[in-house]
Structure 1
Amino acid sequence: MTTVDDPVAAAERCTPEFRRNPHPVYASLRDTAPVCPMRPPHGIDTYLITRYADARAALADPRLSKDMYGAMDAYRRIFGDSSVALDDHMLNSDPPKHTRLRKFVSSTFTPRRVASLRPRIQDIVDTLLDNCAPREPVDLLPAFAFPLPITVISELLGVPSDEQSELQHLSTTVAQTGFSKESKQAQQKAEENLHAYFEDLLARKRSHPDEDLLSALTAARDENGGLTDQELISTAFLLMFAGHKTTAYLIGNAVHHLLTHPDQLRAVQDNPEVVGRAVEELLRYDGSVESATFRFATEDVQIAGTWIPKGSLVQVALSSANRDPLKFDSPDKFDVTRPENVQSAHLGFGHGIHYCLGAPLARLEMQLALTGLFSRFPTVALADPARETRWLEVPFPAFRGLTELPVVLKPAVP
C-alpha cells in the first residue's frame, strides 16, 4: 500500500500556469501519486484519481456515492445551503432514485430523438453564422459557441427565447466556483433567482402546456406522481446547466485546437466525414469537463494501493485519464485520424450509470458547429496568433474552457 503525505497537487492545480496547461502536473501525478490526497481551497480533504484504468473503475464503483446528501455536512461547506434546492437531481443521486429520475428524461436524448433535431440545430448554426461580421475580429464564444447550445436546450425545455440570456447569466454565476465571501454571496443570489425562475416556469407549463420537455415532465408529475415539484425544478436546472455550459466550452476548445493545428484542420476540411472522429479526439485531447463531479466513499476503498477512508470526497481527473499513455499512444498528440475504437474510449462523457445523458446531443451540436463554421469561413484564423490564450481560472478545476476566442472570419470565395 502506498500513501502520499504531501498534498502538493492542490496548490499546483490553483496556479495560472496550471490553468494554461494542466497536463505536466497530471503526468507527474500519474507517475508518482495516481490517487493523491489533497486539501483544495474549500478546505475538505479530497482524493484525486488520475490514471485511466483507476478513473474508469471509480466512475462505476457503487462504493463511491454520488448522493451528496449522504455527505451533507461536506456538501454544505463547499456549496452552501442555497444550492441544495437546485441539486436534488439525478447527477447527485444513487439507485434506485437515480434510476427513477433518469428514466423520465432519457427518451428525449436517445440517438433517434436527437437525430430528429438536426434540421433545427442546423438552422440555429446558420443563423448565428449569418450574424457574424466577416473580416472583422469576432469573439466566437459569445457570438457562436454559447448561444448555440443555450438555444437548443432552451427550446427542448420550453424556455421562451427572450428569457434565455438571463438564464445563461445566472448559470454562469453559479458555475463560478470561488470561495470568497463575495463569490459565495453572488452564487447564493443566482441560485435563489434560478430556483424562483424555474418554479414560475413550471407553473406556466402546468397552466399552458406545450410540446416541450418541461410540459411533459409536469404532466407526468400531475398524472402519476413521477417527480416531486422539487425534483422537477432541480431536473430543469440540471438540464439547462449541463446542456449548454459544457458544449459551449467544448466548441471553443475545439475551434482553438483546430486553428492551432492546421494539419488537423485540413484533414477535417478535406474529408467532412472525419468530423465525427475529430469530435471524439477533441473530447479526449482537451474536453470541457476537466474533473468529474464529486463522489464520496461510503466505506474504506483501496484504489491503486492507496486507501481512501470512508466519508472522504473523491474527484476523478478526466483530463488526466484521457492523456494516460498506458491507454493512449502518444496521448499528448492531437490526431483526428486515431482509430475510432481508440477515440471512443475516452472518458469525456464519463462512464457508468452517470454517463452523460446528453452525449448524443452534444456530439451532434459539435459536428454541425464545426462543419458549419469551417465550410462558411474556410480560412478562419485567430485574430492575434501571438496573443496568449486565456483559459478559465477557477480555484478548483471543473470546467476546462477559454475565456475568449477572437477570430477573423474569412468567407469562402464564390
Structure 2
Amino acid sequence: MKASNALFTPTALGALRLKHRVIMAPLTRSRSVQPDSVPGDLMREYYEQRASDGGLIITEATNISLTSRGWLGAPGLYSDTQVEGWKKVVGAVHAKGGLMVAQLWHSGRSSHTSMTGGATPVSASVDSKYWENPNHLVSIPGGWVQPSPHRALAVDEIAGIVEDYREAAEHAMSVGFDGVELHAANGYLVDQFLQDGSNKRTDEYGGSLENRTRMLSEIVRALISVWGADRVAVRIGPWGTWNGMSDSNPDALFAHVAKDLNEFGLAYLHLIEPRVSGSDDVQTAGGLAAERLRPLFKGKMIAAGGFEPDTAERVVSDGILDAVAFGRHFVSNPDLPKRVAEHLELTPYDRSTFYTFDEVGYTDYPVYAAVAAAV
C-alpha cells in the first residue's frame, strides 16, 4: 500500500496487530448453506476476496444457538459442521495475512418459530406492538414475514443464554478465529435488555442502568473467560432506533455503557453510527456518536456507518477513532483497502442483492485492476 495517511499506519486493537485501519464491518448476507446454517464454499470465497495483509474482518452476525436464530441464511457457531465450515473460511483469510473476529449474535424477539426449531422467541419483556407492526420483518424459508410473538426470559434462564455465548466463544477458538465480538446493537437480544423501550422488567435485569446493563456485563465476562479481554470486543448502537428500539434517556444509557465497559480492558468498542439504520441512511442530529463517547471510553474505539474514505481518514487523524469499519463499500469493492490507499474509484453497490442467496452481488464484484481493464 502506497498511502502514508492515518488509515494506513499500523495499530493494535488489544492483541490484534493491524497493518492498516480499514476494517470490514459485520454484514449479514444470507449465504450460509441451509438448512443447517453452515459456512460453505461461497462464503469462503467471499471472505477470501476481501481479506488483506494485516487487515481485520469482522464476520457477519453469527448465531450462538438454534434458538437464537432470526435470519434465514445467517451462519451459526453451535454445531460441529458449522465449526468445520468456518475453519475453511478463517484459513483462507489467514492465508492472505488477514485477521478475523467472530461476531456472536442472539436475535431475541426479532425472530420466528420457523427459525428457532419451534421455540418461542425471547426478549427482556413482552411487547405485542413489536410483532404486530407490519414494518418489522424477519427472513424465513417462506420469505419476509412479521416476527412470531415473543416471551420474556425468566431470571433463571438468563444464565443459560450467557452459557450459550461462552460455548460459542469456545467454538470460535477451536475454529482459529483471532477473537470474538459481542453483537449488542440493532435491536437484538442484548440491546433489548439495554434500552427501556423494550425492557420493562422490575427484577435485577430491569429498571436502573446498572440492572439493564447486567446481561451485557455477564456475557462479556463469559467471553473473556475463554479468550482473555484483549481478544474480546463489543458492538453497540448508541441512539439507534432500528428494530423498534427506543430509550427514555439514551444519552445517559450509552454514556453508562461506555464507562462501564472500561473495566474490562477490551480489544475495542465498536459503534454503529445512528445515521445508518440497517442498510438505510437516516437523518440524525447531534454529530457522531464516536465524538460523544470518545471522552468516556478509555480503550480503542472503532465505528461503522456512513463513512467515506475522506471522512474515515479525518476521524482517525483527529484521534476520534482508532480505525473505521466499512460495510456497504466492502460489499462491492473486495479490494477496498487498496482502493482507499491509492485513491481509486469505488464500485457502487447494488442494494437489491444484499440479502439474496447466490453469488450475484456477492462474489462477482471484480477488483480494481479488472474494472480498469474492462474500460
Q: TM-score, normalised by structure 1?
A: 0.22
- Structure whose alpha-carbon radius of gyration is higher: 1
Larger fraction in helix: 1
Which fold has the larger relative contact order, with Cα–Cα distance below 8 Å and residues 6 or more apart in sequence? 1
* Larger fraction in strand: 2
TM-score by length of 2: 0.24
